[in-house]
Each structure stands twice: as structure tokens, then as C-alpha cells.
Amino acid sequence: MPKKKMLVAGASGLVGFAAVKHFARLEDWDVVGVSRRIPDGLEGASVISVDLQDRARCAEVFGQMSDVTHVVYAALYEKPGLVQGWFEQDQMQTNLAMLDNLFDPLEAAATDLQHVSLL
């Protein structure tokens, strides 16, 4: 059976880091973690530095990922003041733009994409 390929956005955060570590240990998975900064401790996975707010860089990177079959999207832009920020339009727009910046090129390239989890 061919390997599945998991793309984890937000690999330096709590949820993304745990997802990368879990799937990287499984034999039938190739895992690519994505984060602005590359965290230590993600052996067994490829980790790339991409700022999801940079639309051009996202198009360059994710537009080439034709073999991705699964995505865990755990990326988050967060302003200071956790709860207050969720009511601010600019924070919502930034998070939506980050999601679009990843999925617009990836959806066009990854024709075998089977599952997406938004966390």
C-alpha cells in the first residue's frame, strides 16, 4: 500500500507538534510539518519554514505539493489578549487569509487530497 502524506500546518504549536510526532512514528505515513519557526524534536518528519501570511511563498511551496493526501490545519495567528482577539475583525481576517494562502495552491496541486482536519 502506498504511503499517505500528511501536511501539518502549525507544527510548532501544541496540537500541530503532537500531530507531527504521532504520524511521523507510523510506518505508512510521510509527514511534513509547516511552521514559521522550525521546532526541535520532530524527528522522522520533514519540517519547512513558511509564514502562512506570505501568499507568494505559500503559492511557491504548497503549489508543488502534489502528493499530499491529508492535512491537519492547526495554524493560528493570535493577537495579545487571547479571548479579546477572537472578536477583532483583523485577527479573523488574518486567520482566514492564512487558511486561504495554504489551501488555494494546495487544492490545485494535491489532486489526491482525501481528508482535511481543521483544529
**C-alpha cell of 52?**
502562512
DSSP for 48-88, written as a single string: EE--TT-HHHHHHHHTT-TT--EEEE------SSHHHHTT-
Q: Which CATH class is domain 4-118?
A: alpha beta
Tell me the average pLDDT across 2-6.
91
Question: Could you report the per-residue pLDDT of 52-111, keeping only the tens digit for each?
Answer: 999 999 999 999 999 999 999 999 998 777 677 778 888 999 999 999 999 999 999 999
| Bigger pLDDT: 86 vs 21 | 21
Report the pLDDT value the prediction gives residue 24, as an integer from 0 to 100.
97
- Pairing status of strand 4-9 against strand 46-49: unpaired
Please, which residues have CB within 8 angstroms of residue 9's CB and are 6 or more apart in sequence? 16, 34, 35, 52, 71, 72, 73, 74, 75, 102
Tell me the average pLDDT across 12-17.
97
